[in-house]
A and B are shown apart, each in its own frame.
Chain A
C-alpha cells in the first residue's frame, strides 16, 4: 500500500482532470406560470442504482424493465428529498409517468412533477437533500423559469435550502442596473469624456475664418445650445447604432483596433480646435467617430454579461445610462463655458491649451493601444 501511494506522487492523482465522467448531478427544472407550478427532474440511473439498487439481477446492466419495476420506489425516494414551499406554505408534489433521457454521462430517469401550491407563488423555497448522505459532492442543477425570466442555481449539501424571489428581479430593477452601468461607464471612460469635451469646447464660440482667422464668442445661449444639441445628438445616434449592432452580434471589430481608433478620434477632435479644419459641421465629426465609440461601449456591455431573455432591455438601459451620463456632463459644462466665453482665459488657456493637453494625452493612449505598451500609470 505504502509503495502504491507513493507512486501517486506528483502523478495524475493530484490532478483530477484525468476523469472521464463528471461528478453526480441531477437536473431539476421548475416553471412557475399563471396556471401553476410544474417541474421535471432528471436523475442519473447510476446514482439511483447506488442509492436503491436498480440492477436487480446484479449482471451489471440496468434494463428498462428493471427501472420500470422500481418507478414507485424511485419517485418515493426522490420526493422524500425535495421540498418546495410557495410563499412559506408547503406545496404538494405529485410524480408523473417516468421516461428516459440521455445526458453527457449516461442515462437518466425523467420524473415529471406536478407541484401544487396554495396560489401562484411570489416566493419559492426549495429544500434539496437528494443523495446528500451518500455523495456530498452531488449537485442539483436548478433551472427555474418564472414570469418569463430564467434563473439557474446549484443545489446540494453546500446550500441545501434556497429561496427565490420570483418578482424581486423585476425587469425594471434590471433596467435600472444597466442604466446605472451606462452612466458609470461614461463617467469613468476618460476617452469618451475627452472626445465629447473636444467637440463641446468650441460650441460657445464661432469661427471667423474668412475675415479674421480666430474664434469669436457666440452671441446667444440659444446659438451655443443648438450647436451642442446637434453634436451630442449625432454622437448619441452614431454610438447607439454600433453599440446595438455589436451587442446583438451582427458586427464585431478587434478591440485593439477599436481602442486605438477611439484614441485617434480624441486626438483629431482636439487638434481641430487648435487648427480648425472643420468648424461648422462638427456634428458630422461627432457622428463619424461616434460609430467607433459605440464599439467601445459594446465591449463593456458584453463584459457585464447580458441576460439572454432581456437583451433588448439591457441594451436600451445601458444606452440611456450613457446618454444620461453624457447630458450631466453637458449640463455642467455648457453654462460654465457660456459664462466664460468672452474671456481670453477661455479662448486661450481652455480652448487652445486644454485642447493641446487633450491631444497630447490621447496621443499617448494611441501609441499605447497601437503598440500595446504601457506609458502612463493609468
Chain B
C-alpha cells in the first residue's frame, strides 16, 4: 500500500484551490466527463526527492512503529510539511506517529517535546506546557523545549514564565534569538524602548545570522516599534524583513495589518495578491478590498464564510480570533464578534487577541466584556499606542 507524502507545489495547489473555491457552493455530485480529467493535486512522488525521502522514513517507521527515535523524526518531518504547505492534515499524521505514547503519562523526552508541539497546534496549551516543563526538568539543555515553553507562555500572557523560558534558552542558542526572546517579553512588560534598543543592537551585531533568523528578529522589531508608535521604524523593519525574500505568512499578515491601520488598503491588495490560500491572508485581502471598494471583496468574504463554517462544523475553535475580526469588519456583526473574541481571549492573550476584544466590545457597546484586556494592560504596563487608545475609547463609553 503506497503512502504518499508531501512536497512543495504551492502555485499549482493555489490555482487548484482557487478554482475549487470559485465553484458554486453546494454543487451536486457529478461524473467527470473523461478519465483524463484531473480531480485533485497531491505531492508528486515521482518527481520530488523530498517526497520519496519522507516516504522512505514512513516505510521504516511502519516496520518499527514503537521505535521512539523514528517516530519523533517522522512527526517532526510532518510538522515541517505542515508549516511549509499550510496543510493541517500533516499535524494529524504526526500525531498518528506518536500514537503509542499519545496517552502515556511520561513518554521519553523527545516524544514529549514533540507531543507538546502537536498539542499547542490544537490550543491545548496547559497539556503542552506540562509536557515541556517535564522535558526541561529532565533535560535542561533541550533548546527546543525551552523555546516552545517561552512561545506558549507569551501567548498565554504569563510573562514571568516566558522570561524563565528565555533564560533557559539563552545559553543554548544564538545571541540574536536570545535577545529576541527577551525583547518579546520586555516589550510587553513596561520596557518597550529598552527591548527595541537591545534587539536592534543584537541584530546589528549578528552579521552571520541567516535570512530566516533575521526575518524573525526584524518582524519582532517592527511589531515593537509599531506598538510604541514609532511608525517610521516599524515600516522600515517590515520592509527590510520582506526584502529578505523568504515567504512568511506571519510577516505578511503583520505588515498587511500595519498598512490597513495606516489607511493604505491598495498596497495590501498588491502585497497579498497570491495569498488567497491562507485564511489569515485572505482575511486581510477581503478587509483591504472592502476598504478600497474593490469588487473582489464579495467573493473573498463568502470564501471566508465557507471556511469558517467548515471549521465550526467539526468543532474546531482555533480560528476564533480571525472569525471575530471577520464578523466585525466584514459582516458588521458586533455581537457575534464579541462572543468569538471573548472565547478566544480565554485561550490566547497576545496583542492581536486583546485588540479584537477591545474593538468588538466597543462596537457591541459592552465595555465590561473587555475588562480582562484592561487588567492585562494595567498589570503588565503594556505600551501600545493602538491598544491604549482603544481602551481609552472604551473607558469613555462606559
Interface residues on A, range: 35 or more
Q: A7-B213, A46-B42, A62-B42 are in contact. Are A372 and B151 (CB under 8 A)?
A: no
Is there contact, CB below 8 Å, between B99 and A136? yes
Q: Does B262 contact A (CB under 8 A)?
A: no
Q: A9-B151, A22-B310, A141-B314 are in contact. Are A67 and B39 (CB under 8 A)?
A: yes
Q: Does A219 contact B (CB under 8 A)?
A: no
Is there contact, CB below 8 Å, between A63 and B38? yes
Least distance between B33 CB and chain A CB atoms (Å): 8
Is there contact, CB below 8 Å, between A60 and B44? yes
Q: A14-B120, A101-B28, A110-B29 are in contact. Are A61 and B89 (CB under 8 A)?
A: no
Residues in A1-55 with C-beta less than 8 Å from chain B: 2-25, 45-47, 49-55
Is there contact, CB below 8 Å, between A102 and B1? no
Which of A25, A101, A137 lies at the interface centre, i.e. has the most chain B CB atoms within 10 A of its CB? A137
Considering the chains assembled together, what is the distance between the CA atoms of A295 and B249 in angstroms?
A: 45
Is there contact, CB below 8 Å, between B147 and A8? yes
Q: Does B104 contact A (CB under 8 A)?
A: no
Report the interface size for chain B: residues with CB under 8 A from the other chain: 101
Considering the chains assembled together, what is the distance between the CA atoms of A8 and B172 in angstroms?
A: 15
Across the interface, name the chain A residue whose C-beta is closest to B87.
A21
Least distance between A162 CB and chain B CB atoms (Å): 14
Across the interface, name the chain A residue whose C-beta is closest to B322.
A17
Contacts of A134 in B (CB 8 A): 92-93, 96
Q: A8-B147, A22-B88, A23-B91 are in contact. Are A101 and B41 (CB under 8 A)?
A: no
Q: Does B248 contact A (CB under 8 A)?
A: yes
Q: Does A81 contact B (CB under 8 A)?
A: no
Of the listed stretches B16-24, B132-140, B194-202, name the one at the interface; the rest are far from the partner chain. Answer: B16-24
Least distance between A14 CB and chain B CB atoms (Å): 5
Of the residues A19, A61, A138, A372, contact of B87 by C-beta under 8 Å: A19
Least distance between B52 CB and chain A CB atoms (Å): 9
Across the interface, name the chain B residue whose C-beta is closest to A21.
B87
Considering the chains assembled together, what is the distance between the CA atoms of A52 and B1 in angstroms?
A: 6
Is there contact, CB below 8 Å, between B313 and A25? yes
29 A-B Cβ contacts within 8 A? A2-B144, A3-B177, A5-B144, A6-B144, A6-B169, A7-B212, A12-B248, A13-B83, A14-B151, A16-B318, A17-B321, A18-B250, A18-B279, A19-B87, A20-B17, A22-B311, A24-B92, A49-B40, A53-B3, A55-B42, A60-B42, A99-B29, A99-B30, A100-B30, A100-B39, A134-B93, A134-B96, A135-B95, A136-B102
The residues of B with any CB-CB pair to A shorter than 8 Å are: 1-5, 9, 12, 16-17, 20-21, 23, 27-32, 34-48, 82-83, 85-89, 91-93, 95-96, 99, 102, 120-123, 143-144, 147-148, 150-152, 154-155, 169, 172-174, 177, 180-181, 184, 210, 212-213, 216, 219-220, 248-250, 253, 277-280, 306-307, 310-311, 313-316, 318-319, 321-322, 348, 365-368, 397-398
The residues of A with any CB-CB pair to B shorter than 8 Å are: 2-25, 45-47, 49-55, 57-65, 67-68, 99-107, 110, 133-139, 141, 152, 154, 256, 372-374
